[in-house]
Amino acid sequence: MPTQLGVIDLGVVAIYLVATTLVGAWFRKGQKDIQSYFVGDREVHWLLVLVSIVATETSTVTFLSVPGTAFNPLGGDLTFLQLAFGYLVGRMVIAWVILPGFFQGNFISAYEVLRKRFDSRVQRCASLLFLVTRTLADGLRLFLTALLLQQFTGWSMPLSILVMGGLTVLYTYLGGMQAVLWTDCIQFFIYMLGALLAGWILLGEIPGGWVEFVQVGTEAGKFRLLNLDTNPAIPYTLWAGMIGGAFFSMASHGADQIMVQRYLCAKSLGHARAALVASGVVVLGQFLLFLLIGVGLFVLAQSGSWSLPEGIRNDQVFGRFIVEKLPTGLVGLVIAAVLAAAMSTLSSSLNSSASAALADFYKPLRPDRGEESYLQMSRMLTLVFGCAQIGVALLAWRIDSPRSIIDQVLSVAGLTTGMVLGLFLLGLMKRPVSSSAALVGMVCGFVAVMGVYIPAALGRPIIAWPWYALIGSSGTVVMALICQVMVPIGHRQQEQPGNF
């Protein structure tokens, strides 16, 4: 694969990077307090919230790896979509069960709800888990994106990390949540346009066009959608998708600050519900597009008109097609689309981490500070988490490989989000549960999910990753209830359970 882009393509990428930074500078003038900096004064249209949700959960990994799952010559097909079906179910549960609690207060952090139901220990424990997980996982995502930037520009790895990380930190620092939302919107349309154009050109490269695409894909079983296998170690089955995927979505979209913060920007609970549920439909269509691109790449490779090197990884094939088959100018646009997918996730992570740190740690310790002081601290925290993620990316460059890094990113998400979901589910129950019991349950949930993760990490999986959130959340809930019954707790919370 070529290591450097041409001047025109580099110019397209540079224009995109500069433009996103200017967006941040533009929105700086409208900031007056932490409500505007973190939740856009709660006046954001639901369509913008919808697009931001989709853009945030779409990373470089999605853009390049989802086509690779369908391209895979050893059984790749459309069964990945079964997870998207479960994601949609999970969003519906969030919209009518969990989401109302976030609108029963002037919250800027998801974990302030846990303080109202339990106490500050539970709030800070959940928030700290989010902050550590986000810093590590998104620092690793930054490293993966910098690998692409290095490959396409020929820059050194430290320079690629600093450019990607530095520009993302800058526009997030300047513009706050409004800049994040609007750049998410721009980035969504850039990467969708890039994917559609790449798919159109791909179809034109296949000698027999649409007819050959359908015929070869059908003969190879590439259009298989449902897998009814009951083996829990297989990730892409109907059961793992509909059940495990639903719980994974409930955890990632109902108990994670990076998503909850978007709902809090909406004008009302109804607007937030519309954005959340509709985003599931958009994600389903987006995954279908990327998977069909993967099928097209397989058909093109099978046609003999495009050769691939021996041993190329499945998730490298789409990137190779981009730089080899797309015309000058469009290559730069699609590379900008790949960077856009990454920057939307990273900027959201920075702003959400800063809001969680401020609301869950700083404000309770400094309740007498004014809005201007909180706003300054918010910007400072954005810089702190930005530097931390850049540091993680630089460390990853020194000690690990991109393949094992992405495995770790996906594993961390499955390991941690289920436990926090368990806390939210405990808060909704009519039976009172103490804070101490909830924390014990959270530890037990972690032990339970580690029990299935370790065999997988050693190459002997017994349960696939879509089930991790279900195991973590159910382990947390069950053990908290058992602890509540077996160990009497003197202190009982005064709030009525089921009403955050």
pLDDT at position 2, please?
44
pLDDT mean across residues, the chain:
85
Measured between its terminal Cα atoms, the distance across the chain in Å is 54
Give CA–CA dist 372/230, Å, rounded.
Answer: 56
Distance of CA 26 to the CA centre of its chain: 26
Given a cut of 50, the residues of the chain with pLDDT beneath it are 1-3, 401-407, 489-499
Q: Are 9 and 335 in contact (CB under 8 A)?
A: yes
pLDDT at position 87, please?
93
Maximal C-alpha separation, the chain: 75
Q: Are 88 and 244 in contact (CB under 8 A)?
A: no
Give CA–CA dist 278/285, Å, rounded.
Answer: 11
pLDDT at position 494, please?
43
For residue 114, what are the contacts with CB-CB under 8 A and spacing of at least 6? 122, 123, 126, 423, 424, 427
Cα dihedral across residues 173, 345, 5, 196: positive or negative: negative
Is residue 223 classed as helix, strand or coil in its secondary structure?
coil
pLDDT at position 30, please?
61
pLDDT at position 473, please?
94
By percentage, how much of the chain surpasses pLDDT 90? 40
pLDDT at position 55, please?
87
pLDDT at position 213, please?
96
pLDDT at position 90, please?
95
Q: What tokens were used for 79?
A: 């069964």
**Over the stretch 331-356, which tens digit does the pLDDT of each residue have?**
888 788 777 777 777 888 888 999 99
pLDDT at position 345, please?
78
For residue 208, what are the contacts with CB-CB under 8 A and spacing of at least 6? 215, 303
Q: What tokens were used for 11?
A: 């110019």
Give CA–CA dist 166/174, Å, rounded.
Answer: 12
Is residue 299 classed as helix, strand or coil in its secondary structure?
helix
Q: Output the DSSP codes for 40-83.
A: GGG-B-HHHHHHHHHHHH--HHHHHHHHHHHH-TTT--STTHHH
Q: Are 154 and 3 in contact (CB under 8 A)?
A: yes
**For 220-329, where are the alpha helices, taking DSSP H only?**
238-239, 245-254, 257-265, 269-303, 317-325
Is residue 370 classed as helix, strand or coil in its secondary structure?
coil
pLDDT at position 4, please?
58
Give CA–CA dist 150/156, Å, rounded.
Answer: 6
Give CA–CA dist 278/53, Å, rounded.
Answer: 10
Closest CA to 338 of 94, 210, 164, 132: 164
Domains and CATH numbers, the chain: 7-401 (1.20.1730.10)
Give CA–CA dist 345/259, Å, rounded.
Answer: 11
Q: Output the DSSP codes for 76-124.
A: --STTHHHHHHHHHHHHHIIIIIHHHHTSS--SSTTHHHHHHS-HHHHH
Q: Distances from the Cα of 310 to the Cαs of 76, 307, 317, 467, in angstroms?
A: 18, 9, 12, 34
Give CA–CA dist 187/196, Å, rounded.
Answer: 14
pLDDT at position 346, please?
83
Query: Residue 26: what are its φ and ψ, rounded to 5°?
Result: -65, -45
- Rg of the chain, C-alpha, whole Å: 23
Give CA–CA dist 243/250, Å, rounded.
Answer: 11
pLDDT at position 5, please?
66
Give CA–CA dist 143/220, Å, rounded.
Answer: 35
Give CA–CA dist 17/14, Å, rounded.
Answer: 5
